[in-house]
């Protein structure tokens, strides 16, 4: 071994006694030295359990600092960490496990909830505490160390493969946008099965020698108290726009207590310009950005309240390390201000999808540019503006929802001849699902029964919140359902019948 092979090991040498991590659920804290040591102990335990290069280690657990140790341990022995979305239904989680084929499945009470057998996280933690640290060897920075699952339009899960080089570039990109230093401290309560929770929050802090505080989840009042707590000293916080709105709606919201934050960073869903300007008026920078599992941080607004307010709604600037092009339907570059599909290239971009060679080929053009599937435009100053999504996917509370998955789940329902799911505006979640149904002949629509039918097949946040019944779905000459027409009709209030789902 030569020098430090990852940024955790480097910081352990640069500032061994500096605070690195704190877990608010367990009350544990680590210096850089002890966190680095613990990662090597976790690596030793994985090796002792037969985990080797290329093997997958999956987790099903709410946020814990030890999950970060598990990821570092996997990277250090050449294994691949696969955090699973515990919000999914048991059937969906089982499908991900079948796809990943993990050598080891680790989890907390979520394992029992999904009726899965695996190793308890506490058992692994206890074993690591007694294990001698595994000596480090050189890492392959271009080998995958992470699989992040993201649904596809077909409804089949796709595992995004990310290498340590991909992760490093995302951390570097955000650290520049976010003014991250050794004095920065991140509060992480976004799920660590998402790229923001596991990578942008954590790896950026470690790269710059800052610290991070891990929370088991977002609870508006509790999160607001933590952001305002001078003892915690939080400087950076990520959320989706709906979470930001919930913070402002709290009776105890006091902007003066949040002004020492470097910024609140928002993304994952459309963010209303008026909401952004409200934060600006309070003297708090709320910087919107654009990212995705396949590429991490792609763009972000400058942390200048005047710039944010003047361009409220923009996704910000793209750093020099990322190539970006806007192309029209014919593959030609669009002029400034003209919308088209956003293509990107850079060291942050995924190497492809786990066991999905066809999907990987489709994701890149002949020159290696990644197709984001998002319609965007650049203004004259180089600021990125997201216009629409090419796919039918919509975003509810920061979670991507794919209508094809909902429609496929209802294909066998005896009361439904055919259906189409679309996203409609919702004041709280940004968008929610609405189901347009053509009833089977002589069959009535029992909405609570349909909801019950879906609950065993889909995560609750994916289940449409309302429905309409129509005689036929609008189609084009090729027989494709015209979802734009459906959305326009729903926006205009044209609903034959509707029902509502109780709040999630």
pLDDT tens digits for range 76-89: 999 999 999 998 88
- Quick one: pLDDT at residue 2? 52
The candidate with the shortest Cα–Cα distance to 502, out of 459, 468, 463, 454, is 463
Instruction: Give this prediction's pTM.
Output: 0.84
* Residue at 215 is within a domain: yes
For the record, the structure tokens of 267 come out as 């993304």
Above 50 in pLDDT, residue 41? yes
Above 70 in pLDDT, residue 496? no
Percentage with pLDDT > 70 across the chain: 94
The pLDDT-based confidence of 164 (bands split at 50, 70, 90) is very high
Do 196 and 304 lie in one domain? The reply is yes
- pLDDT per residue over 116-142, tens digit each? 999 999 999 999 999 999 998 888 999
Pairing of strands 211-214, 19-23: parallel
Domain closes at, from 332, 352, 385: 385
Sign of CA dihedral 344, 349, 350, 352: positive
The pLDDT-based confidence of 155 (bands split at 50, 70, 90) is low
Number of domains composing the chain: 2
* Residue at 501 is within a domain: no
- CA 223, CA 252: separation in Å to the nearest integer? 11
DSSP classification of residue 255: G
Alpha helix positions (H), 378-446: 403-409
Q: Which residues in 428-498 belong to E strands, given as ranges?
A: 430-439, 466-469
- CA 168, CA 286: separation in Å to the nearest integer? 24
Reduce the DSSP state of residue 213 to 3 states and report it.
strand
**Domain around 444:** 394-491
Contacts of 122 (CB under 8 A, 6+ apart): 108
Domain closes at, from 385, 420, 439: 385
Above 50 in pLDDT, residue 18? yes
The candidate with the shortest Cα–Cα distance to 283, out of 267, 268, 263, is 263
Do 342 and 422 lie in one domain? The reply is no
Do 416 and 335 lie in one domain? The reply is no
Do 327 and 410 lie in one domain? The reply is no
The pLDDT-based confidence of 461 (bands split at 50, 70, 90) is very high
Above 50 in pLDDT, residue 502? no
Do 322 and 436 lie in one domain? The reply is no
Domain closes at, from 356, 385, 414: 385
* Residue at 134 is within a domain: no
Q: Residue 360 maps to which CATH number?
A: 3.40.50.12780
The candidate with the shortest Cα–Cα distance to 194, out of 155, 227, 151, is 151
Above 50 in pLDDT, residue 504? no
431 within 8 A of 464, measured Cβ to Cβ:
no
The pLDDT-based confidence of 231 (bands split at 50, 70, 90) is very high
End-to-end CA distance of the chain: 51
- pLDDT per residue over 378-402, tens digit each? 999 999 998 767 777 788 998 878 7
Do 372 and 417 lie in one domain? The reply is no
- CA 495, CA 436: separation in Å to the nearest integer? 9
- Quick one: pLDDT at residue 5? 81
Above 70 in pLDDT, residue 435? yes
CA angle 274, 278, 284 (to 5 degrees): 135
Mean pLDDT within 208-213: 98
- CA 370, CA 351: separation in Å to the nearest integer? 10
Mean pLDDT within 436-465: 91
Do 428 and 362 lie in one domain? The reply is no
- CA 388, CA 408: separation in Å to the nearest integer? 24
Do 108 and 257 lie in one domain? The reply is yes
Above 90 in pLDDT, residue 219? yes
Reduce the DSSP state of residue 317 to 3 states and report it.
strand
* Residue at 1 is within a domain: no
Q: Which residue(s) pair with 287 in the sheet?
A: 265
């Amino acid at each position: 071994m030569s020098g430090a092979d990852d940024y955790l090991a480097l910081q352990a040498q640069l500032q061994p006694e500096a605070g690195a991590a704190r877990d608010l659920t367990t009350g544990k804290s680590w210096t850089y030295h002890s966190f680095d040591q613990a990662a090597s102990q976790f690596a030793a335990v994985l090796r002792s359990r037969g985990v080797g290069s290329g093997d997958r280690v999956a987790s099903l657990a709410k946020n814990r600092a030890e999950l970060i140790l598990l990821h570092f341990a996997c990277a250090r022995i050449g294994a691949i960490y696969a955090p699973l979305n515990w919000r999914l239904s048991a059937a969906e989680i089982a499908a991900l496990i079948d796809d990943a084929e993990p050598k080891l499945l680790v989890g907390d009470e979520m394992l029992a909830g999904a009726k899965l057998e695996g190793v308890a996280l506490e058992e692994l933690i206890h074993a690591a505490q007694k294990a001698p640290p595994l000596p480090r060897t050189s890492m392959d920075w271009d080998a995958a160390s992470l699989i992040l699952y993201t649904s596809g339009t077909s409804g089949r899960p796709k595992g995004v493969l990310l290498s340590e080089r991909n992760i490093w570039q995302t951390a570097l990109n955000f650290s520049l946008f976010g003014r991250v230093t050794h004095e920065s401290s991140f509060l992480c309560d976004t799920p660590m099965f998402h790229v923001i929770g596991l990578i942008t929050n954590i790896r950026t802090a470690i790269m710059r020698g800052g610290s991070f505080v891990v929370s088991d989840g977002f609870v508006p009042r509790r999160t607001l108290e933590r952001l305002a707590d001078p003892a915690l000293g939080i400087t950076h916080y990520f959320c989706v726009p709906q979470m930001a709105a919930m913070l402002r709606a709290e009776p105890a919201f006091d902007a003066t207590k949040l002004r020492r934050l470097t910024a609140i960073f928002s993304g994952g869903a459309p963010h209303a310009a008026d909401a952004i300007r409200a934060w600006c008026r309070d003297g708090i920078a709320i910087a919107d950005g654009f990212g995705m599992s396949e590429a991490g941080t792609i763009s972000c607004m400058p942390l200048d309240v005047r710039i944010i307010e003047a361009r409220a709604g923009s996704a910000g600037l793209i750093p020099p390390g990322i190539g970006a092009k806007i192309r029209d339907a014919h593959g030609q570059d669009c002029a400034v201000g003209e919308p088209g599909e956003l293509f990107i290239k850079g060291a942050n971009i995924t190497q492809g999808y786990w066991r999905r060679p066809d999907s990987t080929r489709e994701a890149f053009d002949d020159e290696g540019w990644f197709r984001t599937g998002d319609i965007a435009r650049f203004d004259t100053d180089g600021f990125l503006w997201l216009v629409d999504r090419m796919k039918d996917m919509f975003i509810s509370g920061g979670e991507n929802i794919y209508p094809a998955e909902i429609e496929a789940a209802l294909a066998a329902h005896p009361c439904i001849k055919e259906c189409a799911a679309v996203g409609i505006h919702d004041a709280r979640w940004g968008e929610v699902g609405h189901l347009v149904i053509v009833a089977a002949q002589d069959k009535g629509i029992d909405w609570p029964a349909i909801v019950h039918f879906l609950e065993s097949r889909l995560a609750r946040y994916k289940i449409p919140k309302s429905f309409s019944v129509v005689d036929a779905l609008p189609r084009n000459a090729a027989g494709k359902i015209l979802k734009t027409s459906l959305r326009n009709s729903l926006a205009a209030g044209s609903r034959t019948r509707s029902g509502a789902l109780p709040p999630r």
